């Protein structure tokens, strides 16, 4: 048996872990592709309809149409919820109900590969819904400047909330607690972090608080990139710090889970 | 091969595994027996680092077991009590996933999957999603999965729980074939005939403590190789005897007293040992205390 292990020294356990998780997620994703894509499209369409066409066709806001203003916010918020839910819900179920998570815990892979693999998989799912959303806005005839930096910032946002979902799913003790995260963290952020309005219009002390939240930085950064094409350095820094924070918390949770 | 040194696990104030020390030898088929809540599963979970010991050590092949002990983990195959296959994936994909996690190369995974599906007699179901399988089929895939990486040590946690008697016997045949390959096997069960059919040596656990250790034969001899069961107004009694003759004499006595209805004499089995144990007695024959060297245990109907 020991020869068996020595026979394949070139497949590193780190890569084995990450690639297996991505492969498994891809299998599931491709199997439910149309169902997934359709359900991914519902929320953005509703937002576009209500806040864009219903409310904002004629309204000008900070020098642009309200639709152009609100779309970066909606992209930020829909990638946030889909990254978070792509990790938090299935991981929570696999940990507490089907116990499929134990298959990973007992495998000879380092915990860091489990953390990287799961967070990346969630971020890809979030990114997919972001791209679907952007494609929809083009179909609806909205013109936005979307470049590499825009997508990079969007991906950072996905990493932040996928990491947050990973950490949440590993630390809570029952499935219903995921709803608490949704109710007390995710939903308030979607409304508060400048998605639908400009933070310049609200009192100083309140906006100072909102600048602590990661989604504020995504929304502002994406909006800056799409409307003015200037580089939002502070957004990149803030999101990178948040992504690292949740990665670290998630990794630590991997060692502490099910003790 | 597997050494447990004063292993203890406490949840809050409850001690689930209490100062358990065991030495499982290479190539042994070892059974960990006990009633529900005896601490068997917790012991297996600690072995796989799914639970952390409050104190004590787990040494496998001379090395301490930790969550990051990757070389050690790749030597162990786990068949958990809870069926934790990915129901969305097919049987083949579940095995493939395991092979990938254990760093097997593609061609090796492919040949191993074919071989193992053959071994568990399910080659025709390879491409069906696991959620469509029956409980017994899932268990077989679970065993196949644990064998993907050719582990030297196999941990089977209640592998036949909830299976019908026929399927259970098929599982036993499968598991027996494994041990002939020289693997060390640790099996937990509360089906005593299962331990009797499979294990070289068994440890009896009760309330987290190791109560008895030996071959099934040794334990049966210890409690008394023959047993006479009597029914005494709803109170079932087991009387243990060192020989069949002593048991027959006892029955004759009973019949003379007119109490010989519904008695039976048979060879004792692990179940008797087990009931003896859970009734709180130690397993030593009390020589010559009652008539004909018998030892009697009463157990009320509520115990069943």
Mean pLDDT, 10 residues at a time, chain A of 259 residues: 46 92 95 89 82 68 81 92 94 91 92 96 96 88 86 97 96 89 91 86 86 93 90 95 97 85
Which of B186, B214, B242 is the endpoint of a domain?
B214
Cβ distance B26 to B51 under 8 Å? no
Residues B244 and B103 in one domain: no
Torsion of CA B167, B168, B170, B176, to 10 degrees: 160
pLDDT at B18: 92
State the best of A100, A112, A170 to mutate against chain B, taking most chain B CBs within 10 Å.
Answer: A100
Q: Is the Cβ of A100 closer than 8 Å to some Cβ of chain B?
A: yes
pLDDT at A93: 92
What 3-state DSSP class applies to B81? coil
pLDDT at A108: 93
Which of B197, B214, B231 is the endpoint of a domain?
B214
Cβ distance B219 to B273 under 8 Å? yes
DSSP assigned state of A182:
I
Residues B67 and B165 in one domain: yes
Q: Is the Cβ of B267 closer than 8 Å to some Cβ of chain A?
A: no
Instruction: Give whole-number Cα distances, B295 to A48, B236, B244, in Å.
Output: 83, 14, 14
Q: Under an 8 A CB cutoff, do A1 and B105 touch?
A: no
| CA-angle at A185, arms to A183 and A187, nearest 5° | 55
Burial of B197 by CB count in 10 Å (0-12 exposed, 13-18 middle, 19+ buried)?
middle
Chain A partners of B103 at a C-beta cutoff of 8 Å? Answer: 8, 11-13, 16, 108
pLDDT at B289: 40
Cα separation, A78 vs A186, whole angstroms: 11
Residues B163 and B230 in one domain: no
State the best of A106, A110, A170, A173 to mutate against chain B, taking most chain B CBs within 10 Å.
Answer: A106
Residues B227 and B208 in one domain: no
Residues B134 and B251 in one domain: no
Low-confidence ranges of chain B (pLDDT < 70): 260-261, 278-304
Cβ distance A235 to A218 under 8 Å? yes
Q: Is the Cβ of A126 closer than 8 Å to some Cβ of chain B?
A: no
In a domain, B81, yes or no: yes
Helical (H) or strand (E) element with A146? none
Residues B170 and B191 in one domain: yes
Q: Under an 8 A CB cutoff, do A24 and B74 touch?
A: no
Q: Which residues contact B87 (CB under 8 A, 6 or more apart)?
A: A98, B129, B130, B131
- Counting DSSP H helices and E strands in chain A, the numbers are 13, 2
Q: Please give the model's pTM, rounded to 2 decimal places.
A: 0.85
Q: Is the Cβ of B68 closer than 8 Å to some Cβ of chain A?
A: yes
Give this complex's ipTM. 0.87
Q: Is the Cβ of A5 closer than 8 Å to some Cβ of chain B?
A: yes
Nearest to B105 among A8, A13, A109 (CB): A8
Residues B224 and B208 in one domain: no
In a domain, B304, yes or no: no
Closest Cα in chain A to B52: A259
In a domain, B267, yes or no: yes
- Write down the residue that tokens 């009633």 correspond to: B35
Residue B213: CB atoms within 10 A of its CB come to: 16
- CA A246 to chain CA mean position, Å: 12
| CA-angle at A235, arms to A230 and A238, nearest 5° | 160
Instruction: Give whole-number Cα distances, B103 to A20, A252, B86, B109, B112, in Å.
Output: 9, 24, 19, 9, 13
In a domain, B300, yes or no: no
Chains A, B: CB contacts under 8 A, how many?
90
Q: Which residues contact B122 (CB under 8 A, 6 or more apart)?
A: B91, B137, B140, B141, B144
Q: Under an 8 A CB cutoff, do B70 and A100 touch?
A: no
In a domain, B302, yes or no: no
Residues B77 and B37 in one domain: yes
Q: Is the Cβ of A6 closer than 8 Å to some Cβ of chain B?
A: no
Beta strand B63-64 with B76-79: parallel, antiparallel or unpaired?
unpaired
- Structural domain including B261 reads 220-284
Q: Is the Cβ of B10 closer than 8 Å to some Cβ of chain A?
A: no
pLDDT at B110: 96
State the best of A9, A18, A103 to mutate against chain B, taking most chain B CBs within 10 Å.
Answer: A103
- Write down the residue that tokens 């259970």 correspond to: B168
Q: Under an 8 A CB cutoff, do B49 and A17 touch?
A: no
Residues B10 and B88 in one domain: yes
Which of B199, B214, B229 is the endpoint of a domain?
B214
Residues B138 and B7 in one domain: yes
What 3-state DSSP class applies to A102? helix
Round to the nearest angstrom and report the end-to-end CA distance of chain B.
Answer: 37
What 3-state DSSP class applies to A60? strand
pLDDT at B286: 40
Q: Is the Cβ of A62 closer than 8 Å to some Cβ of chain B?
A: no
In a domain, B185, yes or no: yes
Q: What is the CA radius of gyration of chain A?
A: 20
Chain A partners of B74 at a C-beta cutoff of 8 Å? Answer: 5, 108
Q: Which residues contact B276 (CB under 8 A, 6 or more apart)?
A: B223, B238, B240, B283, B297
**How many domains would you assign to chain B?**
2
Residues B45 and B75 in one domain: yes
Cα separation, B285 vs B50, whole angstroms: 40
Cα atoms in the 13 Å half-sphere on the side-chain side of B44: 27
Chain B partners of A113 at a C-beta cutoff of 8 Å? Answer: none
pLDDT at A100: 92
Nearest to B97 among A4, A20, A102 (CB): A20
In a domain, B293, yes or no: no
Residues B137 and B243 in one domain: no
Q: Under an 8 A CB cutoff, do B48 and A19 touch?
A: no
Cα separation, B304 vs B298, whole angstroms: 12
What 3-state DSSP class applies to B43? helix
In a domain, B299, yes or no: no
Q: Is the Cβ of B104 closer than 8 Å to some Cβ of chain A?
A: yes
């Amino acid at each position: 048996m020991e020869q068996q292990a020595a026979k394949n020294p070139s497949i590193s356990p780190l890569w084995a872990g990450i690639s297996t998780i991505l492969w498994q997620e891809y299998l599931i994703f491709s199997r439910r592709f149309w169902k997934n894509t359709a359900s991914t499209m519902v929320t953005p369409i509703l937002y576009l309809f209500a806040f864009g066409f219903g409310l904002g066709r004629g309204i000008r806001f900070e020098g642009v149409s309200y639709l152009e203003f609100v779309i970066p916010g909606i992209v930020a918020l829909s990638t946030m919820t889909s990254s978070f839910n792509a990790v938090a819900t299935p991981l929570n179920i696999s940990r507490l109900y089907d116990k499929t998570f134990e298959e990973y815990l007992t495998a000879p892979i380092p915990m860091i590969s489990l953390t990287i693999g799961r967070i990346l998989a969630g971020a890809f799912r979030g990114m997919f819904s972001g791209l679907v959303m952007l494609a929809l806005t083009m179909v609806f005839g909205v013109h936005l400047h979307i470049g590499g930096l825009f997508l990079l910032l969007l991906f950072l946002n996905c990493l932040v909330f996928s990491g947050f979902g990973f950490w949440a799913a590993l630390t809570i003790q029952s499935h219903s607690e995921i709803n608490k995260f949704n109710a007390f963290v995710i939903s308030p952020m979607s409304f508060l972090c400048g998605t639908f309005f400009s933070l310049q219009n609200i009192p100083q002390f309140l906006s100072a608080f909102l600048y602590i939240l990661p989604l504020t930085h995504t929304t502002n950064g994406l909006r800056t990139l799409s409307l003015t094409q200037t580089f939002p350095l502070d957004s990149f820094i803030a999101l990178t710090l948040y992504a690292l924070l949740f990665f670290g918390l998630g990794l630590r949770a991997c060692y502490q889970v099910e003790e | 091969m597997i050494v447990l040194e004063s292993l203890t696990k406490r949840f809050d104030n409850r001690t689930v595994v209490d100062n358990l020390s065991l030495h499982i030898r290479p190539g042994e088929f070892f059974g960990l027996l006990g009633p529900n809540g005896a601490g068997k599963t917790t012991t297996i979970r600690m072995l796989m680092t799914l639970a952390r010991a409050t104190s004590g050590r787990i040494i496998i092949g001379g090395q301490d077991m930790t969550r990051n002990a990757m070389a050690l983990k790749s030597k162990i195959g786990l068949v958990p009590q809870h069926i934790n296959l990915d129901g969305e994936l097919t049987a083949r994909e579940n095995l493939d996933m395991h092979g990938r996690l254990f760093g097997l190369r593609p061609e090796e995974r492919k040949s191993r999957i074919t071989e193992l599906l053959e071994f568990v007699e399910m080659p025709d179901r390879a491409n069906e999603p696991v959620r469509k399988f029956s409980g017994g089929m899932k268990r077989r895939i679970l065993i196949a999965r644990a064998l993907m990486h050719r582990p030297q040590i196999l941990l089977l946690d209640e592998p036949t729980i909830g299976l019908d008697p026929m399927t259970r016997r098929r599982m036993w045949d499968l598991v027996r074939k494994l041990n002939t390959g020289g693997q060390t096997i640790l099996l937990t069960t509360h089906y005593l005939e299962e331990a009797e059919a499979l294990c070289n040596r068994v440890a009896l656990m009760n309330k987290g403590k190791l109560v008895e250790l030996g071959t099934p034969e040794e334990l049966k001899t210890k409690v008394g190789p023959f047993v006479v069961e009597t029914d005494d107004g709803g109170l079932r009694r087991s009387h243990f005897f060192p020989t069949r003759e002593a048991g027959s004499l006892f029955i004759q006595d009973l019949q003379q007293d007119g109490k010989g209805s519904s008695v039976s004499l048979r060879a004792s089995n692990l179940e008797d040992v087990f009931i003896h144990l859970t009734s709180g007695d130690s397993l030593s024959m009390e020589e010559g205390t009652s008539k004909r060297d018998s030892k009697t245990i009463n157990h009320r109907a509520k115990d069943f």
